[in-house]
Amino acid sequence: MQYTTLGRSGLRVSQAGLGTMNFGTDPHAPTPESEAHRIIDTFLDTGHNFIDTANTYRGGTSEEVVGRAIAHRRAEVVLATKGAAPQGAGPNDRGLSRAHLTRALEASLRRLGTDYVDLYQCHVPDPDTPIDETMAALDDFVRSGKVRYIGCSNFTAAGIISAQWAAQRAGGTSFVSLQANYSLVTRAIEAEIVPSCRQHGLGILAYSPLGSGLLAGRYQRGIAPAVGSRLAQWAAMPSPMARAFVTGLLAERHFDIADEVNAVATELHTTAPTVALAWLRDRPGITSVILGPRSTEQLTANLAGLAFDLPKTISTRLDVVSQGTVTPAVNGQHNAA
């Protein structure tokens, strides 16, 4: 098992992270609790340790499921969650203010059944709250012992730099990680965000590594996403950004990339997801690739993909065919990983 320190910290995480957006207790959750427990046990039994959730996943029930599943193995887990997403209708029920983050963290700890999280992340930027206030609040969480490390998700390069400078001015805790949408069909972060992370000490946690399922063959050229699929749900949202994301992801160019991934997989006698995951694992700045399995079988296949030895010539070939891929975000957060 390979572990890497997370950014400019001493925290060691596995090259695979377990994303838990599919876990929940409602009847419509893609992964019921019993299967979620099997997935988590399999993940930990194979030596991986990084599990990521958020207070907005499945209305908070993802945190509850994760908390119950790891209760007897808490010391084995690098547990990450996120705050900022709306938790109510009130004006202070969202964002990165001290008022909201304090309540959000306490609620997450209750749902997770733990007295601390290893990594607490700002889920999305908040232009209405001064970054100095946010970083001071996060530093207080660390000093209280309720949080070990802090990170961000879906921040721009400028946002990352502003946050690190704010922490330095106050002599407080800095971010050690960034979660970002990154795959062969979503490489926009390479221009400015990856260099900023490397310069300012943030490890990159890549989510949606299979391009929201496009690189796994879940969507077909010229065919509308199936009813009930994630892209179909986004396409039906009133948000123009959500619809733009779907349109951008299903662009002809991205299907061309998916075709090349399939061709490579055939040549190497493996699967398209394996090729896509192995390519991403080797990108500069990547600390961990966050998988989002719905079943134990998917997890096992994805873990094998991350362990696959992708020839350098093939990686370069995929680099060339996918250069310049940019997909619009959904409310600045794609699938809110």
Residue 288's CB is within 10 A of a number of other CB atoms, namely: 29
Distance of CA 253 to the CA centre of its chain: 24
Query: CA of 233: how far to CAs of 4, 224, 226, 229, in Å?
Result: 36, 12, 9, 6
Q: Residue 300: is it exposed, middle or buried by C-beta count within 10 angstroms (0-12/13-18/19+)? A: middle
Q: How far apart are CA 305 and CA 337, in angstroms?
A: 20
Is the sign of the CA dihedral 325, 304, 61, 112 positive or negative? negative
Closest CA to 141 of 105, 97, 93: 105
HSE on the CB side for 229, CA within 13 Å?
A: 16
Element (H, E) at 18: strand 16-19
Q: Give the catalytic positions in this structure.
A: 57
Closest CA to 284 of 254, 319, 253, 320: 319
AA letter at 169? R
Find out whether 79 and 118 touch, Cβ atoms under 8 Å. yes
Q: Would you state the structure tokens that stand for residue 144, as one six-digit string?
A: 């209280």
Helix axes 61-70, 98-112, angle to 10 degrees: 50
